[in-house]
Amino acid sequence: MNPSTAFDAIAGSYDDTFTNTAVGRLQRASVYDLMVPYLRDEQCQRILEINCGSGQDACWLAQQEKTVLATDISPEMIAVAADKRQQLTKKQQDRLRLQTLSATELSSLQEEAPYDLIFSNFGGLNCLSPQELPLFLEDAAKLLRPGGHLVMVVMGRFCWWESLYFSLKGDWHKAWRRRKRTATDAPLDEHTSISTWYYSPLDFTTQAPPVLTQKQLNPIGFWVPPSYLDPFFAKRLKVLQLLHQLEEKTKRFAGLARGADHYFLVMVR
């Protein structure tokens, strides 16, 4: 299934299955905590969001008094984001613009450049093929001002939670699916799946143009589990809160990014 059709199909349920879950809220809180220092920079005013999904992050960025262009390949996701936009104040709404656009079409935004920060959250870039990834990085670099930041939250090539969980279930394919270099047919819900590639931070740094260099790397979801385990942990919120506390204490350890559900990677132009 092509990405637009796949994400159209889950747009109405995405917030229920991830955004508003206990796990989803905790993982997003970790991302925001790492984002805040970049947003406090007075030079960070114009933000381009890639794969904005249901608009949760776009609305939050507008609430931080930033001018935001939020894009997604899915018209239905953009429609959900537009509904959320209506809940903002008039001033915040004026700061936020939504556009249906694929991550492979960034060159069409060249006339609007430069941006101070480009942001993609929770694995949107994992939908790019190995052939598309370096082209995305090249386009992003061209849209950033000198000193601007590319902030990406990506699913890595190993997650200890995932390997343990599916190994205990005897599902060896899913336990080690992230190690594949070819596409994995990853489920979005019971009826919808999408081709997904898993990338290490090195995949980004070696394929990025020379003007982009790595600045920061952090784990997202090393102790807090992947979202598909939320039904289990939602009934054990004290355990989940303990895991979140461990996450907070260790999120500055770049080495843990190799085993986390996602990693937070910042590159600077």
Query: Which of 131, 132, 152 lies closest to 48, judged by CA?
Result: 152
For residue 114, say if its preceding peptide bond is cis, omega within 30 degrees of 0.
yes
- Residues of the chain with pLDDT > 70, as a percent, come to 100
- What is the mean predicted confidence (pLDDT) over 39-56? 97
- pLDDT exceeds cutoff 90 at 231: yes
**Inter-axis angle of helices 22-39 and 237-250, nearest 10:** 30
- What is the mean predicted confidence (pLDDT) over 218-234? 97
Domains of the chain: 3-268 (3.40.50.150)
The pTM for the full model equals 0.97
Alpha carbons 79 and 214: distance in angstroms, whole number: 34
Structure tokens at 246: 């461990």
- Tell me, what's the pLDDT at 131? 97
pLDDT band at 119 (very low <50, low <70, confident <90, very high): very high
- Tell me, what's the pLDDT at 1? 76
- What is the mean predicted confidence (pLDDT) over 241-269? 97
Q: For the segment 140-172, what is each residue's pLDDT rounded down to a tens digit?
A: 999 999 999 999 999 999 999 999 999 999 999
Alpha carbons 71 and 37: distance in angstroms, whole number: 23
- What is the mean predicted confidence (pLDDT) over 27-55? 97
- pLDDT exceeds cutoff 90 at 198: yes
Tokens 């992230």 found at: 178
Helix (H) or strand (E) holding 95: helix 90-95
- Tell me, what's the pLDDT at 2? 86
Rg of the chain in Å (alpha carbons):
18
